[in-house]
Amino acid sequence: MARISRYLVPALLLICGAALTAQDEWKSLEDAKKVAATSDKPVFLVSVLDTPELADPVFKKLRSRARADEDFKVFVGARVNVFKLDPNAAQYGGTSHGTDPVLVEKYGDMSTVSVYAPGANTALWRLKAGAHKEDIFKQAREAYEKWRKEIDELEQQMKDDKELKKDPEALWKLGEAWARGGSAKRALDNLDDALKIVRKADKADRRIEKWMLRCAEVALSCEEYADAAKRFTAFLKEFRASERRNEALLGKTEAQIGANDMKGARKTLEDIKPDAPPEILDRAKKLHEKATKAAAE
């Protein structure tokens, strides 16, 4: 028995240690999003500044608090390193504690905390310097649950009343709720279903034009750029004389830039007439400059 215990105890310690390590794992955002999509859990993302000289002390403290905080258990933990080495720092006697402006613009500066809904590419909620807040997990959870409450109620109504799944307005409302959380697939699944029902009932229904453009805008806002470009193209083809044609052209341009199609973006802008309203021409000019700059880089 003593011999068994001598070998069993270290083995148990090893197993328990591995379990704790797995529980304490903070994934990359992409990996966390995959887990979130399958588990229907939100992602808790923190922007850190891990440098060659020093691991981020704020993240170390945050990770330690997370182990004991019940509110954190609803999330999939993720981190993004916004550090960028400054090759000129040493010659000026400084350190390499710089940040990447592209990452900072997308995820926030160091210690920023964001919450992503399941399946989302964009943040539902964000708090600058949130990692310093003692109650950050409680704040993040409350923000997520406030948004999720409406969705859960709408989906429960559809379970209780099967006819609501055939009601385009009910489906549209649910889709818009998912869109506010940045969850493109869940949003567009419902929005597209609503649009199909309306189109099948009456091809002249005025909602078709409005909803078709809105679906493209949702795809764009959720950073599903390739899908958004296709949707704007379909709208422009079907509604050539639409009063919102310029909006669609600008939306398509943004989607093409997001999809790294700079040539296509500049070509799309050519369809905006010189006599378009000043605000449209101003936005077109800025997008053309953005596409031109990106193409040159």
Average of per-residue pLDDT across 145-151: 96
What are the backbone dihedrals phi and psi of residue 127, each rounded to the nearest 5 degrees, phi first? -140, 120
**The pLDDT value given to residue 120:** 95
pLDDT at residue 259 above 90? yes
CA distances from 285 to 250, 252, 258, 289, 294 (A): 10, 14, 17, 6, 14
pLDDT tens digit string along 91-137? 555 555 678 889 999 999 999 999 999 999 999 999 999 999 999 99
**The pLDDT value given to residue 297:** 83
| Cα(291)–Cα(242) distance, integer angstroms | 25
Average of per-residue pLDDT across 218-233: 98
Assign 25 a pLDDT band (cuts: 50, 70, 90).
confident
**The pLDDT value given to residue 24:** 54
Higher pLDDT, 88 or 103: 103
**The pLDDT value given to residue 97:** 65
Average of per-residue pLDDT across 147-159: 96
Higher pLDDT, 243 or 5: 243
pLDDT at residue 86 above 90? no
**The pLDDT value given to residue 77:** 97
CB 269 within 8 A of CB 284: yes
pLDDT tens digit string along 172-225? 999 999 999 999 999 999 999 999 999 999 999 999 999 999 999 999 999 999
pLDDT at residue 66 above 70? yes
| Cα(187)–Cα(30) distance, integer angstroms | 20
**The pLDDT value given to residue 85:** 73
pLDDT at residue 6 above 90? no
Average of per-residue pLDDT across 139-147: 97
Assign 22 a pLDDT band (cuts: 50, 70, 90).
very low
pLDDT at residue 1 above 90? no
Listed as own residue / partner, the contacts of 225-229 with beta carbons closer than 8 Å and 24 or more positions apart are 225/255, 225/256, 225/258, 225/259, 226/255, 226/259, 227/184, 227/188, 228/252, 228/254, 228/255, 228/258, 229/255, 229/256, 229/259, 229/261, 229/264
- Sign of the torsion formed by the C-alpha atoms of 224, 227, 228 and 229: positive
